[in-house]
Amino acid sequence: MVQTDNLTFHYKKKEYTFRFPNISLKNQENLLILGKSGIGKTTLLHLLAGLLKPVSGTIIINGAPINRLSHSHLDTFRGQNIGMVFQKNHAIRSLNVFDNLQARLFFGRKSISKPSIDDLLEQLDLSDFKKSKVNELSEGQLQRLGFALSVIHNPQVILADEPTSSLDDENCKMVMDLLINQAKRTHANLIVITHDHRIKPLFSKAITL
């Protein structure tokens, strides 16, 4: 459940104040946020992830007013409930695939059994690369690892920032399927920001900034 009310944000060096429309998502509801670049899509996503603090307004995720949480509580909340998917996929370069997932769980203070991790890797066709270094992976494998890292801890909210803009149609469909299925499986809300109109039909709810 995600709810925002009268959310505004102001960057220190800029005159302009972002005002965001209210969001109200029930359990398992997904949302597509469309808009031109520079309109504040990423800012809104970071507000929802608790990476930025709003100037005014409230954000409530699963009953927790995250704009009022202390730093340490926010870190914990983010680690446990939020999964972020980025346009370009990153993982910790010094760790191998399996250790990256372990690190994700460690910092998120979640414990997932080893077989479940193996299951996820199997599902994403990464089983053979469990012990591989991140820089040994192909672009596609890295993309799937990025996805694994965002969902391994079964987050309540999955926030995706332009997950498909650099992908061809086939991969675009694959990534969106993965995201939507994962959200369905764990009863999570999926919020995607994009200017990619290909994925519009997949969402019943959409707002434009």
Residues binding another protein (CB under 8 A): 42-43, 46, 49, 51-52, 71-72, 75-76, 78-80, 82, 84, 86-88, 90-95, 99, 102-109, 149, 161-162
Nearest approach, Cβ of residue 204 and another protein (Å): 27
Kindly state the DSSP code that residue 152 receives in the 8-state scheme: T
Least distance to another protein, CB of residue 96, Å: 8
DSSP state of 133: B
Smallest distance, Å, CB 83 to another protein? 9
Q: What angle do CA 41, 42, 44 make, to 5 degrees?
A: 65
CA separation for the pair 177, 183 (Å, rounded): 10
Closer residue to another protein, CB minimum distance, 24 or 66: 66
> To which H or E segment does residue 140 belong?
helix 139-151
Shorter beta-carbon distance to another protein: residue 46 or 173: 46
Cβ proximity to another protein: between 24 and 136 the closer is: 136
Instruction: Find all residues with CB under 8 Å of 98, minimum gap 6, and list them.
Output: 117, 121, 130, 131
> Least CB distance from residue 46 to another protein, whole Å?
4
- Whole-number minimum distance, CB 42 to another protein, in Å? 5
Residues forming a β-bridge with 4 = 59
**Which CB, 68 or 92, lies closer to another protein?**
92
Q: Which is nearer to another protein, 16 or 24 (CB)?
A: 16
Cβ at position 2, least distance to another protein in Å: 17
CA atoms within 13 A on the CB side of 14: 8
Instruction: Round to whole Å and give the CA distance between 31 and 10.
Output: 24
Helix (H, G, I), strand (E, B) or coil at 59: strand
Which of 15, 26 has the CB closer to another protein? Answer: 15
* Rounded Cα distance, 109 and 22, in Å: 31
